């Protein structure tokens, strides 16, 4: 396991759920965590909770649906920090009804889901990769889903969400190939069905289990990991 002291991690959607829990865990391991949140108010509340525990966290307000916000974040981070070690693209939405099909999908909602889940992830990578390249062991961890997996019959409902997460898996493979000559490793992961605001109260997994694999990917020795792969429960899944 890597020593996380002096490491700097950026986590999107960090004010609640999995993002908040990952922020707390990485900070407790000694990392400085930049909690990227859309809402300033809820972001300040989340940061305050962790600062009360003497953890090294800071807030950056960014709406990943807005390309200008992400570009501005990249510039701000480049001014403040010489290097970024970990980027966790956690922010995402699934506000589509379960009975929606391609024939019945709402185009504005489809575009919103794609813009947040896919474009937001692409642009976070675009603007932070220059800082990640300066790390001795950079990590990009993209949140995907079993609904984005093509090798088993998991597509099911939620076409916009499923397509966005399949595309995130494609982005992960593409980035891993582009970054072969660097010290950056890129992963996507399925955290499972977790009890969060998105997962709902019927989800079987606690948040502690949902963050296990991404924290492991952020902290494990590089020699034990495989860049460009799709992980669940610390194991490689088929695409």
Summarize the confidence of residues 61-78 as an average pLDDT.
98
Establish if 3 belongs to a structural domain: no
The answer to whether residue 49 is domain-embedded is: yes
Active site residues: 161
Q: For position 239, what pLDDT does the model report?
A: 82
β-pair type (235-237, 229-232): antiparallel
Number of H helices, E strands in the chain: 8, 8
Confidence label for 155 from pLDDT (cuts 50, 70 and 90): low
- We report the CATH number of the domain holding residue 114 as 3.40.50.720
Q: Report yes or no on 94 lying in a domain.
A: yes
> Between 105 and 155, where is the model more confident?
105
Residue 1 lies in a domain: no
pLDDT at 59 over 70: yes
Averaged pLDDT, 38-54: 97
Q: What is the pLDDT of residue 203?
A: 64
Residue 146 within any structural domain of the chain: yes
Q: Where are the alpha helices (DSSP H) in the chain?
A: 17-28, 40-51, 67-80, 107-114, 120-132, 159-178, 207-210, 212-219
Whether 108 has a pLDDT exceeding 80, the answer reads yes
Q: Can you give the residue range of the structural domain that contains 107? A: 8-237
Average pLDDT on 120-125 reads 98
What is the structure's pLDDT at 198?
Answer: 58
The per-residue pLDDT for 1 is: 87
Domains in the chain, number? 1
């Amino acid at each position: 396991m890597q020593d996380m002291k002096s490491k700097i991690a950026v986590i999107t959607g960090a004010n609640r759920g999995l993002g908040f829990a990952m922020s707390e865990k990485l900070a407790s391991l000694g990392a400085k965590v930049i909690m990227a949140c859309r809402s300033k108010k809820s972001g300040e509340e989340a940061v305050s909770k962790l600062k009360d525990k003497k953890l090294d966290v800071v807030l950056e307000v960014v709406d990943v649906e807005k390309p200008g916000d992400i570009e501005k974040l990249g510039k701000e981070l480049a001014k403040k920090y010489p290097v970024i070690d970990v980027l966790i693209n956690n922010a995402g939405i699934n506000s589509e009804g379960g009975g929606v099909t391609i024939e019945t999908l709402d185009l504005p909602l489809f575009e919103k889901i794609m813009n947040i889940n896919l474009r937001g992830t692409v642009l976070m990578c675009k603007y932070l990769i220059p800082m990640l390249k300066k790390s001795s062991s950079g990590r990009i961890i993209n949140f995907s889903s079993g609904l984005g997996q093509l090798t088993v019959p998991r597509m099911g409902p939620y076409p916009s969400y499923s397509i966005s997460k399949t595309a995130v898996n494609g982005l992960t493979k593409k980035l891993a190939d582009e970054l072969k000559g660097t010290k950056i490793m890129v992963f996507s992961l399925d955290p499972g069905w977790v009890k969060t605001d998105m997962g709902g109260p019927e989800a079987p997994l606690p948040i502690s289990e949902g963050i296990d694999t991404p924290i492991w990917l952020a902290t494990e020795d590089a020699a034990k990991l495989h860049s460009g792969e799709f992980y669940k429960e610390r194991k490689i899944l088929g695409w």
